[in-house]
């Protein structure tokens, strides 16, 4: 089955009232694990690559790996998405290579760190929309700025910062002026494993404070403005499971105490219009723990297959859990794919 558009995947998710996990990849084993999980659970899925991933593996490698995956798993409905494109030029490169969706993150300047002003965000995002929609490619925009740094991208803000959260009163204007297909919100989530500076009296990490009420207000504003069921996106949604962190640390790792986004907070968002949920860090921790365990317990091993196989298996199980919790499991056969050509015509 050919890759599908993000627009279709999220519109169908809205009809079904579920979220679709967007999982970051850098290599073959990650793509294999995610596609196997999607096939076993009959789930649609979004595969995404950041600029850091593309610098590591090159766009063309990921494109060819995705082609192999779609050939081996013809029943899986998958979107190939550029995560945090920093400029129209980066988005254009991804579109030309066959990505079916791109994110123009105009919340930050092209350096990926400096918070941009509102008009800059509108201008660069609208430019990408005009380019992408000609070929049916979906566009994600971001309003507000996320904290943390991942793959060199992020504002590095404290997680309880309120200055750069999404302004509900700007959301409608932003969607209207840019023509985006989905909107990433800044509600206090952040990139990376260390999402909180809050601890209890015993030193245990507490969940980050999330402005969940903003999701409700933004959904309400969009509905009232004539954008019913408009897809919202939650970035930085890894939960940083303690059992996976323990595996890393037990086998020579040194991950400090951390706390990610509770699943109940993510599900709260899904009930209120969040349709795309980005997860990267949890997969990294799962794979790292599996690799460390093999090398710690069997130091004589030197064949990469000896540790990449369990790493792939660990990621697959993690992804299956996320797909179940997000509600996308079982929905892979709900609809027939619409070609990118037909999607392009619908934009016109």
Annotated catalytic residues are 83
- 148 and 158 Cβ atoms separated by less than 8 Å: no
**Which 3-state string (H, E, C) describes the chain?**
CCCCCHHHHHHHHHHHCCCEEEEECCCHHHHHHHHHHHHHHCCCEEEEEEHHHHHHHCHHHHHHHHHHHHHHCCCCCEEEEEEEECCHHHHHHHHHCCCCEEEECCCECCCCCCECCHHHHHHHHHHHHHHHHHHCCEEEEEECCCECCECCECCCCCCCCCCCCCCHHHHHHHHHHHCCCEEEECCCCECCCCCCCCECCCCCECCCCCCHHHHHHHHHHHHHCCCCCCCEEECCCCCCCHHHHHHHHHCCCCCCCCCCCCHHHHHHHHCCCEEEEEECHHHHHHHHHHHHHHHHHCCCCCCHHHHHHHHHHHHHHHHHHHHHHHCCCCCCCCCCCCCHHHHHHHHC
- HSE of 132 in the Cβ direction (CA atoms, 13 Å)? 36
């Amino acid at each position: 089955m050919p890759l599908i558009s993000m627009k279709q995947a999220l519109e169908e998710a809205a009809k079904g009232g579920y979220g679709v996990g967007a999982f970051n990849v850098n290599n073959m084993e990650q793509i294999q694990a995610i596609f196997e999980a999607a096939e076993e659970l009959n789930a649609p899925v979004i595969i995404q690559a950041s600029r850091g991933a593309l610098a590591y593996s090159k766009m063309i490698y990921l494109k060819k790996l995705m082609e192999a995956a779609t050939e081996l798993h013809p029943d899986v409905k998958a979107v190939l998405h550029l995560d945090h494109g920093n400029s129209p030029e980066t988005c254009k490169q991804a579109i030309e290579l066959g990505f079916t969706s791109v994110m123009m993150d105009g919340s930050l300047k092209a350096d990926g760190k400096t918070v941009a002003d509102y008009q800059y965000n509108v201008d660069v995002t609208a430019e990408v929309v005009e380019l992408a929609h000609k070929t049916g490619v979906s566009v994600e925009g971001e309003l507000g700025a996320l904290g943390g740094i991942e793959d060199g991208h992020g504002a590095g803000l404290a997680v309880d910062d309120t200055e750069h959260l999404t302004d509900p009163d700007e959301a409608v204007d932003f969607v209207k002026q840019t023509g985006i297909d989905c909107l990433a919100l800044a509600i206090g989530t952040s990139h990376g494993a260390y999402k909180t500076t809050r601890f209890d009296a015993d030193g245990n990490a507490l969940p980050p404070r999330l402005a969940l009420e903003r999701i409700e207000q933004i959904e309400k504003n969009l509905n009232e403005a004539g954008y019913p069921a408009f897809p919202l996106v939650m970035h930085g949604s890894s939960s940083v499971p303690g059992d996976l962190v323990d595996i890393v640390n037990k086998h020579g790792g040194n991950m400090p105490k951390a706390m990610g986004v509770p699943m109940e907070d993510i599900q709260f968002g899904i009930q209120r219009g969040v349709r795309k949920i980005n997860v990267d860090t949890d997969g990294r921790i799962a794979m790292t723990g599996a690799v460390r365990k093999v090398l710690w317990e069997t130091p004589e091993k030197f064949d990469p297959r000896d540790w990449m196989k369990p790493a792939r298996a660990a990621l697959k199980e993690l992804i299956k859990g996320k797909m179940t919790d997000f509600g996308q499991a079982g929905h892979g056969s709900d609809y027939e794919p619409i070609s990118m050509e037909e999607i392009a015509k619908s934009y016109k």
